[in-house]
Structure 1
Amino acid sequence: MTRKLDLRTGRPVWYAYRAPTVATGRLVRDIKADVAIVGMGISGAMVAEALTDAGMSVVCIDRRGPLLGSTSATTALVQYEIDQPLSKLAQRIGKDRAERAWRRSRLAVMNLKARIDELGIRCNVETRQSLYLAGDTLDADSLRIEAAARRLAGIHATYLPKAELRERFGIARDGAILSHGNLALDPRKLTAGLLLTARQRKARFYAPAEATGIATSRDEVTVTTGDGPTITASHAVLATGYELVAGFQAGTDHQIISTWAIATRPQKRALWPGAAFIWEASDPYLYLRATSDGRVICGGEDEEFTDEARRDALIAEKSDRIAAKLKRLLPQLDTTPEFAWTGSFGTTATGLPYIGTLPRQPRIHAVMGYGGNGITYSRIAAEIVSAALCGNEDTDAGLFGFRR
């Protein structure tokens, strides 16, 4: 049913930290539920938690198992700042819709933090500032315009000129936008925490169990698995990450991109002030953050995905390039990689995901095209899908829908 991808290769830094175990069973007979969720990564986990909180019976399946897909490959810079700058997104989709998308992204990060706190999930969550550095996409003057556009949309942003950026953060660039309220966290611990919360509410997990087909009728959805048993539900949610569902991606501008990342040894004393997220207004851009124990995670060197073999063969070369770029940006760091990995992710021309019911398939809900804001968009998806299945309409659903 999905295009099977080897979503990541190498050793992501998150395997240095123990995440709770999420037990699964074998699907050996036909079962029924209110909702069948295909995928047990961060998106499936958020949707499962939201729907079980609403009192629905949920079944989750995954052809690998919990946390074994793209979730472990993320660098987990949970930002509301969309890959597409607000000033540029406004030119593509209009000022009002662009401002709404940015405000909703901001709200999603706030809601995620509140939910983590409310559920007591221990995932090393910390609130961080973010520095958006001048680059080849937006120069210093363009960053001033971008900061002003954000403020007019009700999103606080401060432009830092070259001298102030160097004085406050020790970074030699022509300028930057300083923002507040983004989140650093451990994505495996978060995903496990959400799944375990859903299981406490009687959600059922099965893996490995591959969805090989979905059939719909007026009243129900039937998910067929590779081993033979079926899941009959009122609705199905496709949370398959970047493995696109065959036949359902037509008409979107979804694209698969490869990215590479490294993580250093812990070095808290060498970190920059506030351990702010840092990313560039460039294409491709460098992006980095620090973990709670002082490792520096840095990624970039993105390029269009061709095949897993080529992507994987470039790990050593790309890691060296990323380490060299990181050293030029922050000379005080030891940029020697202790971890290096590569992965593939989906993106769209606008940087906005596709979330909602599939065309002519009102009982099948899907999330496609995450860009660099995957975890933020997963939260938005959980809110939109939960509202729809509860018989309500999310006011921003049209911004992300397949018919936009």
Structure 2
Amino acid sequence: MYLATTRSTDASRPSGTAARAVPPTILGLGLVSLVTDVSAEMVTAVLPLYLVYGVGAGFLQLGMIEGLYATATAVLRVAGGYVADRLGRLKAVATVGYALSAVAKLGLPLAGGSLAGLGAVLTVDRAGKGIRTGPRDAMITMAAPADRLGRAFGVHRAMDTTGAMLGPLAAAGLVALAVGYDAVFVTSFSLGIVGVLILLFFVRVPAVVAAPRHRLAPRVVLSVLNLPAVRRTWLAAGLLGLFTVGDMVLYVAIQQRAALPTAVLPLLPLATAITFLAAAAPVGRLADRWGRWRIFLAGHGLLLAAYLLVGFTTIGWPAAVLALGLHGLFYAATDGVLMAHVGPLIPEALRATGLAAVQTVQTLARAAGAVGFGATLQAAGPQWAFAVLAVVLGLAIIVGAAPRRQGDTP
């Protein structure tokens, strides 16, 4: 297949201190993600509280909403990556995605207590996320040296997670002031627009050679995704994603199992975010050194430990914090690490599409898992549900650890 013929200016700097510095493109994209995640997590933090204790949704409804939430991201993820590659306009397509998510926040006050209305608005919001993800991650891979991609994605995800940490705090503060949910949604919209402006005016696109248009035909995209190393990666990532609990379901399960006050629910993502923030960059460097796929699988082992803790212990505050910390380490070991692993396997002219396709498989699998686990949890209770989940996730990790062929990256 096609090999990358150039690298960005950032990625081709000489060795030494300058080469070890984080490229400005990655810092700029990290700042965009930080502000955008404050916006997004303000909404995400209050949704479980509103849905479960305001609207009266159960675990099945939560799982269905999270499944819809994830599916909407996946549906347009490949489309966004493909259009970005086809037009050679990574930044422009990413900007459209960020703007769509920001504007969607204004629809939340109009939805009121309607689950259908909330689902529709969240679908638009997640569609925006899907459109922007592939082009953004492609810009990161083009801006960083190949041997430091784990570190680059770790730095970006750490900045992203800073926003994820600040979002629940901002939402909890507004709720505590009794200003109402509408104030949370309008503030979220305003911050989303700030993220769009930062992307437009302060992020430089890495320089790449424009790909000939015939290379971007759909059949060529499919052939790239059928490369043996890439195919094995997305199949394994999809299998593991199928046995990953949605965040909202997990937070509600922890809150109820630990008998925590309902007012604490919007703050539970903080423990995950703080751990993710602290671990993302170090784990990225560790992945560059020890093997990105090994770290990716180890992250799912940590998630399995969290599930066992929630399902089989008399969970209280200490166990709840430990489970959330393991959840954060799982994200640190998997989110950017998977992209750093698969990015170099995809030709540069098709990288946004290829990265988006791998994420799409993973996201669709997680959407199906969220619905299935929500139904199991509501029907069988936490112990049986988490027991079954731990067994199948363990088996999936074993499958993912099967020997990989020579030529695959570790």
Larger fraction in helix: 2
**RCO greater where, 1 or 2, for CA within 8 Å and sep 6 or more?**
2
The interval holding the TM-score normalised by the smaller chain is under 0.3
What TM-score does the superposition give when structure 1 sets the normalisation length? 0.25
What TM-score does the superposition give when structure 2 sets the normalisation length? 0.25
Larger fraction in strand: 1
